[in-house]
Amino acid sequence: MPTDSRIFVTRKLPDNVEARLARDYDCNFNPEDKLYSSAELVDGAQGCDAILCCHTEQFNADVINQLPSTIKAIANFSVGVDHCDLSAAKGKGIIVTNTPDVLSDATAEIAILCMLGAARRAGEGLKMVSQNQWHDWNPTFMLGKQVTGKRFAVIGMGRVGQIAARRAKGFDMQVHYHNRRRLDADAENGAIYHDSVESLLAVADVLSLHCPATPESSGLLNAEKIALLPEGAIVVNTARGAVVDDDALISALKSEKVYAAGLDVFNGEPSHIHPEYRDLSNVFLLPHLGSATIETRDAMGYRALDNLDAIFSGGEPQDRVA
C-alpha cells in the first residue's frame, strides 16, 4: 500500500524491513544508527506523520508533548513499552503500538540459554578456554548444577513465559508459575499455579522472570523476596532489568544464597550496568539478545509496519496499546 505518509525511523532496522519501508513510505532513516537525544527525536519528527522507534528511545511526557501535531502514531519495534509514556500519547491523540507474539520463541530460547549457562558455569568455562587457562581435568573440575527434574518457576506467564515453560519441560522440569490471573487449563499445560509471588519463590529451584516492567514490578526481586528462595537457587532474567534490585541480587550471589544468575537484561544497560556483575564468577551475562535472531527481527519490523499500514488505511492496528 504505497503512501506519501512520512515515517521517522529512529534506528537502523534490518535490510528487509527498511526495504519495505522505502517501498511503501517516505522515510526519514537513520543510516548511521545514531542514538538520538530527546531534542533530536523531536527535531527528527518534524514534517513526519508517524515514528517507528525502539525501546532505546525515551518517549517521556516531555518529548511526546513537543512532537509536532502531524504525528499520528508511534509504532514500537519492541514488545515492552515502558520507554513510552502512554498517558501522554493518549492525551495528544497519538496511537501507540508494539510487536507482541513474534519474538516469544526467540526470547524463550535465551531464557533457557541463560538457565543452562548459569547452572553449568558456562561463562567461567568460556573465559577459561579463551584465555588458555584450561590445563587439566579431574573428577571435581568445574562442577555445576543439573537442571533436569528441578522446579522451574515463572513470574509472568504470558507468551514468553508459557513458551519458556514448555521448553523447560523438555528437561523434565516441574513448572510452577505466578501470574496476575490464573491461566485456563490448556494454557497452563500442567503447570502449578501460585496465587502469590511468595508461595512461588519457596519452590523456585530456577526462577525465570518474564513480567513486564511496570511501577508495580519495579525492584520485584529484592532482598526480602530473595530470602524466600531455596538455598542455591538459580535466577534468570530475560524480562527487564528494572524488575531486579541489583544490590540485593549481587549480595545473594556473593553469599551463594543464589547459586548463579543468567541475565540478558540490566538496569542502566548498555553502558551503566552495575559494575559488580562483571566481577562475579557465578553469573552468565548476555547483551540483551532475547529477540536477536534474523527471523525474529524481520518479523518484528513487519509487525510494526502492519500496524502502520492499518493506521494509514483508516483501520485499527492489531497491536494498539494506547
Integer Cα distance of 164 and 118 in angstroms: 16
Same domain, 173 and 45: no
Distance of CA 143 to the CA centre of its chain: 30
* Residues linked to residue 237 through DSSP beta bridges, in sequence order: 209, 263
Grid cell of 318 as nine digits: 492489531
Q: What is the total count of domains within the chain?
A: 2
User: 226 with 303, same domain?
Assistant: no
Q: Is 245 inside a domain boundary?
A: yes
76 neighbors 97 (Cβ within 8 angstroms): yes
> pLDDT tens digit string along 264-273?
999 999 999 9
Average pLDDT of span 127-131:
97
pLDDT tens digit string along 208-227? 999 999 999 999 999 999 99
For residue 13, what is the domain's CATH number? 3.40.50.720
Phi, then psi, of 151 in degrees rounded to 5: -95, 125
275-297 mean pLDDT: 98
Mean pLDDT rounded to a whole number for the chain: 97
**Residue 1 within a domain:** no
Per-residue model confidence (pLDDT) at position 3: 76
Query: What pLDDT, on a 0 to 100 scale, did the predictor assign at position 2?
Result: 60
Average pLDDT over residues 290-316: 98
Cell of 235: 535466577
The DSSP symbol for 182 reads P
Q: In terms of domains, do 127 and 206 share one?
A: yes
The grid coordinates of residue 258 equal 543464589
Residue 317 falls inside a structural domain: no
Residues 88 and 171 both lie in one domain = no
Q: Over the stretch 16-25, which tens digit does the pLDDT of each residue have?
A: 999 999 999 9
Count each helix (H run) and each strand (E run) in the chain, helices first: 12, 12
Examine the domain organization and report whether 87 and 198 are in the same domain.
no
Q: What is the pLDDT of residues 158-200, one digit of tens each?
A: 999 999 999 999 999 999 999 999 999 999 999 999 999 999 9
Which positions are annotated as active-site residues? 240, 269, 288
Same domain for 155 and 243?
yes
Interval 75-110: pLDDT, tens? 999 999 999 999 999 999 999 999 999 999 999 999
**Residue 80 falls within a domain, yes or no?**
yes
Q: What is the pLDDT of residue 233?
A: 98
Dihedral (C-alpha) 127, 131, 136, 140: value to the nearest 10 degrees?
A: -20
Confidence bin at 1 (pLDDT 50/70/90): low
- Range of the structural domain that residue 89 is part of: 6-102+294-312
Asked if residue 68 is part of any domain, the answer here is yes
User: Please, are residues 155 and 209 in contact by the beta-carbon 8 Å criterion?
Assistant: yes
Q: Same domain for 171 and 261?
A: yes
Residue 319, pLDDT score: 98
Q: CA 212, CA 232: separation in Å to the nearest integer? A: 25
Residues 76 and 115 in one domain: no
Query: For position 157, what pLDDT does the model report?
Result: 98
Within a domain: 156: yes
Model confidence over 30-64: pLDDT tens digits? 999 999 999 999 999 999 999 999 999 999 999 99
